[in-house]
Amino acid sequence: MSAIDDNRAVSTVIGVVILFGFLILALSLYQVEIVPQQNAETEFQHSGEVRNDLVELRAGILQAGSIDQPQYQTVELGTTYSTRVFTINPPAPAGTIRTSEPYPITIAYESNETVIETIPTRFIEYRPGYNELDRSPTWYDASVLYLDARDEGGGIAVIEDQNLVDSDGEVQITALQNEFRRSGTGQVTLELRPAENVIGDIPEADLNITVPTRLSNGEYWNSADISNNKYSVTDDVNDDGIHNLTLETTTSSLTIDTVGVQEVPEEPVQNSNARIGGSTSQNDPPVVEELIYQNDAVAYDGNDFDAVAGGVNFSVTNRVGEDVTITDVRVTPRNSAISDLSDDGLPNGEPVTSEVYVAADLADAYVDYDDGTALPKTVDLDTDGFTNNGNAQLSDGATATFYLYEFTNGFSSVDMSGEDVEITITYQPASGGTETKTFTITPNSGDAGSGGNQAPTIDTFQTTDTSKTGGNPKYAQFDVDWTVSDDSQVQSLELTMARVGSGNEVDSATPSVSGASASGVTSLRGPDQSPNPGGQQYDITITVTDDDGETSSQTQQVTVS
């Protein structure tokens, strides 16, 4: 009897093992086959929802411009998968929405091509981060909304057609302005703030309006319903992915509005060489550039003793086309509880020991207050504080870093991670005049508890054009002279060269670095080509990382001469 009992026990164990094996197999098949299908369904549902959001966003941009009233449009950036107990989901698919670099809309007389006004405008890109479905981005471009699969070997799929020219030949253009970028899985609200009609008192005349677009004639405009075919589209002359759509119209049939994202729109730039109603023959429209915020704000422990990330730094790149003098910086925290900016009584004259410090390539600037200053505050760099050293000076294409130490509630430091701060920079181009640039920074979390670890410093970043524009082959090439340093150890360095507009990277390098400082000269070269690369524009970016993982980055826009 005992032998029989033992055999029965063995058979029971074998049965349990077999059942457990079937269970593991079933779970494995479910993970491999069913989970991706269900997640794909979630992504597909979200793709339909975000497409509707983008259609509404386009309508909001056009409506804000036409009725001169702010519009508020919400976009669901990403989604989340269903919660699972026995199986695993990949990371939730986040999405990113951003505005592109600015490109000029120009208004010119048809008779002599004299440019009357130049107005900057931007495109909008939404890019999903799906794990199962296609990640092709959706673009808002010259009033057209379309899915763009060209980078994956496909084409475009138009969601909403052009709204520039109606059936009666009336031209209605809305310029979209200001830099904006958000990523995540939740909702983001875009505030669309209009300005009045930007066309001044122009006498009745035949005009040519040139509008930037990412779409070529064959890809879209040839099939667009533009009355009387009074338009033309240039080739991608700068090899940056941008074409020029030129519309023929008259002063009485033209309306141009501007809409700003989150902030008020910028002012149009009138050609200083043009004379409204005159006969000058300036054929080359001025290039609209500006100070560009680099989206690199970081919060960390500025005073080096309380382990609170109360200090903030960020950088801007000079795209004005000439040297600029930075004269004022206005600092406005969105959180009213953040009431003061202080250096906690530390010595003055250094980035980490003054309330405001601007590190620029031609001349630095700092302002040190006695016992800090209340916020919001417009800091006059050459007159404020009990000590200062004059205005900051920044050369064309160079990047300046702004240091703000430390934000407090009047008693102690405030962790600035995730806190919105509106920044307005006042600057003077070398050719004259005064301009302002307003944007909002949202600092990422730095290393607040590391005893005051600072991000590495880019001490030198200079480019020299060494392109070959004659003979065969021809190519774009730039030598980068760089010097970097850190309070501890420089860990790695990367240099990249990308086409302006498309963002396509054409070359990169990772020079070997070590120790507290490093320097060198590195060549970056574009692909060989038969046409002359003269006039092509590239973004050269340097990124340095220290041994604590802190990074600093700067970008210069360069042009092949």
Residue 175 CA from chain centroid, whole number: 17
Range of the domain at 183: 48-270
Percent with pLDDT over 70 in the chain: 87
- Specify the pLDDT at position 356: 92
Q: What share of the chain is helix, strand, coil (3-state, %, to 5)?
A: 15, 40, 45
Can you tell me the distance from the alpha carbon of 108 to that of 104, in angstroms, rounded to the nearest whole number?
Answer: 12
pLDDT band at 351 (very low <50, low <70, confident <90, very high): low
At 351 the three-state DSSP class reads: coil
The full 3-state SS of 87-124, as one line of letters, equals CCCCCCCCEEEEECCCEEEEEEECCCCCEEEEEEECCE
| Domain assignment of residue 127, yes or no | yes
pLDDT band at 52 (very low <50, low <70, confident <90, very high): very high
Site of tokens 């590239």: 538
| Domain assignment of residue 3, yes or no | no
Looking at residue 202, the DSSP 8-state letter turns out to be P
Mean pLDDT of all residues in 348-359: 71
Task: Give the pLDDT confidence of 475-489 residue by residue, as tens digits.
Answer: 899 999 998 888 778
Answer yes or no: is pLDDT of 308 > 70.
Answer: yes
Distances (CA, A) of 34 to 23, 93, 440: 15, 18, 43
Residues 119 and 90 in one domain: yes
Answer yes or no: is pLDDT of 155 > 70.
Answer: yes
- Specify the pLDDT at position 269: 45
Q: What rounded mean pLDDT belongs to the chain?
A: 82
Residues 245 and 97 in one domain: yes
Residues 111 and 236 in one domain: yes
Label residue 503 left, alpha or beta by phi (over 0 means left) and psi (-120 to 50 means alpha): left
Residues 484 and 507 in one domain: yes
Q: Which of 202-211, 305-314, 346-355, 371-380 has the lowest mean pLDDT?
A: 346-355
What's the CATH code of the domain at 353? 2.60.40
Residue 173's H or E segment, with its range, is strand 171-177
What's the CATH code of the domain at 480? 2.60.40.2550
Answer yes or no: is pLDDT of 405 > 90.
Answer: no
Residues 201 and 310 in one domain: no
**How many domains does the chain fold into?**
3
Residues 412 and 337 in one domain: yes
Answer yes or no: is pLDDT of 512 > 90.
Answer: no
Residues 93 and 158 in one domain: yes
Can you tell me the distance from the alpha carbon of 70 to that of 60, in angstroms, rounded to the nearest whole number?
Answer: 9
pLDDT band at 8 (very low <50, low <70, confident <90, very high): low
